[in-house]
Chains A and B, each alone.
Chain A
């Protein structure tokens, strides 16, 4: 885990290597380093971190989405990077809003992102531009809605207790 100063140096190098507005912030909490990145430069930042950095991060371990509901922009996508040589992890994070949830894909850099980006699309609705097969993966193909967003209802059935049994319609009625 790079410590706080190491993280600042990485942010500095990414700013120099990619673009000045690519990195929007850094966060170091409980031993975990997070690099906040602007949405449209995700592909360039991950390409830079994989190839051009002096401390390269060659593997993408996990790509997952988060819904930070009360905070805007709502949807976050995390890229967990791993370096096997230096045994180190780095987290790259972008935030997009619900209305314009589009991100460039990293499938060409890390083929492991194929299923994982499809899952983020399925569960949160973030469309990855350039993905070869942008379809739902876990829900049925014709499902409407993105289940893992915080404002999507939990679903299921209300539990029948004796106090509300007369009020709930029976399914065989």
Chain B
């Protein structure tokens, strides 16, 4: 019977696999153990981990008002720009189960109380993206029937301009929101307006 021995080089995949096997079996000691554990542990704050999980699993509320809604459906439904790469493909139609309200379209005077009620029914933490010019600032409709900007009755986190914004622009807005979630654990606007303690648990 022939036995061949080959020397396995320093950091190849086989070496790493064997070292991991030894770690799991508890056979490593001392220096080797320290090195292996260092390579596998990640130290972070609890808020960072929580925010990382939150930002990568946004549930948008299925809500579309006007032309921007069509671009939003294109973002969600079209294979070219699709939102599930960012983890936000689950559209929940019940406000109790959603945490991102994408206001897509012009907010008319008759619809504003309904949106406010929907927003209040959403559970904390929740974010609002005002998509398009009409929900950010009434767009071109400076008249009696359109609320001049959704931020008159809702706190908005990200404004996405455009009429309608391109799907890429909406995705950029969602990515900006993700950065905001990551960096501001107290949800941004509450820190800016000194509104701590106004979270509603409904």
Which A residues fall within an 8 A CB radius of B? 139-140, 147, 152-157, 159, 171
Q: B110 in the interface, Cβ–Cβ < 8 Å?
A: yes
Cα distance A119–B107 when bound, in Å?
20
Which B residues fall within an 8 A CB radius of A? 109-110, 138, 141-146, 148, 152
Q: Is the CB of A157 within 8 A of B142?
A: yes
Q: Is the CB of A154 within 8 A of B109?
A: no
Q: Is the CB of A156 within 8 A of B141?
A: yes
Cα distance A171–B148 when bound, in Å?
11
Q: Is the CB of B144 within 8 A of A154?
A: yes
Q: Is the CB of B110 within 8 A of A156?
A: no
Which residue on A lies nearest to B137, using beta carbons?
A: A157
Cα distance A147–B145 when bound, in Å?
9
Cα distance A147–B109 when bound, in Å?
13
Q: State the total of A-B contacts with C-beta under 8 angstroms.
A: 28
Instruction: List, in ascending order, chain B residues with CB within 8 A of A140's CB.
Output: 109-110
Cα distance A156–B144 when bound, in Å?
5
Q: Is the CB of B146 within 8 A of A156?
A: yes
Q: Is the CB of B142 within 8 A of A139?
A: no
Cα distance A147–B141 when bound, in Å?
14
Nearest chain B CB to A130's CB is how many angstroms away? 27
Q: Is the CB of B110 within 8 A of A155?
A: no
Instruction: List, in ascending order, chain B residues with CB within 8 A of A171's CB.
Output: 152
Given the known A-B contacts A147-B144, A147-B145, A171-B152, are A156 and B138 also in contact in the complex, defined by CB atoms under 8 Å?
yes
Q: Is the CB of B152 within 8 A of A156?
A: no
Instruction: List, in ascending order, chain B residues with CB within 8 A of A156's CB.
Output: 138, 141-144, 146, 148
User: A139, A147, A155, A159: which has the most chain B beta carbons within 10 Å?
Assistant: A155
Cα distance A48–B95 when bound, in Å?
54
Q: Is the CB of A154 within 8 A of B145?
A: no
Instruction: List, in ascending order, chain A residues with CB within 8 A of B141's CB.
Output: 156
Instruction: List, in ascending order, chain A residues with CB within 8 A of B148's CB.
Output: 156-157
Q: Is the CB of B144 within 8 A of A153?
A: yes
- Give 28 A-B contacts (CB < 8 Å), ordered by A residue: A139-B109, A139-B110, A139-B145, A140-B109, A140-B110, A147-B144, A147-B145, A152-B144, A153-B144, A154-B142, A154-B143, A154-B144, A155-B142, A155-B143, A155-B144, A155-B145, A156-B138, A156-B141, A156-B142, A156-B143, A156-B144, A156-B146, A156-B148, A157-B138, A157-B142, A157-B148, A159-B142, A171-B152
Instruction: List, in ascending order, chain A residues with CB within 8 A of B110's CB.
Output: 139-140
Instruction: List, in ascending order, chain A residues with CB within 8 A of B144's CB.
Output: 147, 152-156
